[in-house]
Amino acid sequence: MLSRDHYDFVVIDIMMPTMDGLETLDAIRSTPELRNLPVMVLSAVRDEAQVRQLVKLGVSAYLTKPLRPSDAAVRVQRFVATLGTSTHTPQQGQGRSLLGLQDGARLLVVDSKPGPP
């Protein structure tokens, strides 16, 4: 999907069936066009070695499950606020949404459980 469409940032889990989050982040960072794409990890994994590897690969943010909604909302808003300062160029929009995203911003969430179509 990342090779076909433009996304302003990606949210991934570490534990996914086909390609885990570390492999996914490594693939993103190894692709020149995606190297600076902001990536947030949302996972229950707290293994120090895996978290260090994520940092080494340049993860933009890390949220641990289970989430407390108020804390998660603040952390996501802070993450989104940094998107304007990243070297990744988001699509241009006219205004900002509740999360602070540009109108028309595209978010890719990758998880092992299928969501609504």
Contact 11, 62 (CB under 8 A): no
More confident call, 86 vs 105: 105
Domain spans in the chain, listed from the N-terminal domain onward: 9-110
Q: Residue 90: which pLDDT band, with cuts at 50, 70 and 90?
A: very low
Encode 3-25: b = buried (16+ Cβ within 10 Å), e = exposed: eeeebbbbbbbbebeeebbbebb
State how far the Cα of 29 lies from the Cα of 38, in Å rounded to an integer: 10
pLDDT score for 100: 56
- The single-letter DSSP state of residue 85 is G
State how far the Cα of 37 lies from the Cα of 112, in Å rounded to an integer: 21
What CATH code would you report for 9-110? Answer: 3.40.50.2300
